[in-house]
Structure 1
Amino acid sequence: MKILAVSDIHGKYIKIIDYLKKNTVDLIILTGDITDFGPNELAEEILNEISSFNIPVLAIPGNCDPINLYGSIDNSKAVNIHGKSVTIKNIGICGFGGSNPTPFNTPLEFDEIEIYDNARRVMEEIKNHEVTLFVTHAPPLGTKTDLLPSGKHVGSESLRKIIEEFQPSINICGHIHESIAIDKIGKTTIINPGMLKEGHACIINIDDSDEDNIKAIPEIISI
């Protein structure tokens, strides 16, 4: 299975459309900031356009999306996985959108307790799958994926704690535009592909040729 994951569209989605016209993937994952503070109608337009290639699309909102964007995802052809889980073939996928508190008071922020309680609940639903994808907008605290140019780490403490506890195969995140990186927390690979708006994305290939050793192999790409 070939998965295309992108983050931080901020209303500019032509690059993913161009990519999908020329390339084949089996699943698309959007990790938030679909819009740049709205409107909801734009989110539906973007999600429906991406879904028009008849490839399953899973999405969560980001902190710069309107607080009621969940409804726009539900009204589109994409599948909302914020606070939810799905199983596709042998892969368990769950998501949690928005972010931990920022200095900018953006629309969709959660305190760490709320992040932990809700994200942990959905991780419980997929923990027994051989391959697990934890889709978040915010990165976990203290990796290359949450690092500002100043050197400060601004990721979520709760997301890191959940990753340490459950060790999902991959955490796909975004939010911190400057932190395009692949890192590790224990056995979990953390990926921040950067902004789709600037042509960044990642491909995750699920290699199931060996049933006893299924591998999820990530690669950051430009599109």
Structure 2
Amino acid sequence: METVNNFQNQGQFEPFNRNAWTAVTKQMYYGVLIYSLCGVVANVVSPIISISSGVSMLSGNGGGGGVAFNAIISLAIIAGYVMFFLGLKDFRNVVNLQDKDAVQKLFTATIISIAGYVLGLIPLAGWILKGICVIVSCIMMLLGYSALRNSQTFPTIAREGASKLYTAMILSIIGAVIGLIPVVGGFIGGVLDIIAFIMIIIGWKKIASV
């Protein structure tokens, strides 16, 4: 997607290519929608499947449904992150020069997230590696959104959205840490992820509406 930098280097926000902004943020929004929604589903459903699989194994009926579910949901999350990643590549060329460092943090964080979910497909140790990557990614996104919400060159409505995303990342970090606790952590993390999911959607809606 061809985009241009339509901002002044001096830090003044001026009229810009609204079509470019809209096209890029729309792609990012749908990417976020996919990986966030799938993440919520994973945190809510996975513990239930784990318990069900455990009961099935004890009764001698086997229990491999959880592996298939986790693989499918992980691939869907990766697809969402890739869509978001591709949007961020162009978003770096749409924002003001002063905001590029913040967007770059989001860009790097997304790469880490994708790597984490790929590693998560590895049996046994994969979920630990994924959890570490997700936490690191959330921290980097937290820093990126913090910079954007305090930016003097980011549009006012977009700053409001970044503020929502900043809070959502805090909840996501807490949820990711708690989620490392077997079974119970998934339920608690799921609740926090639902709240974070709502805030993320609202936040990106605001950014996309500029």
Q: Larger RCO: Structure 1 or Structure 2 (Cα < 8 Å, ≥ 6 residues apart)?
A: 2
Q: Please state which structure has a larger fraction of its residues in helix.
A: 2
Q: Please state which structure has a larger fraction of its residues in strand.
A: 1
TM-score for both structures, normalised by structure 1: 0.28
Return the index of the structure with the highest Cα Rg.
2
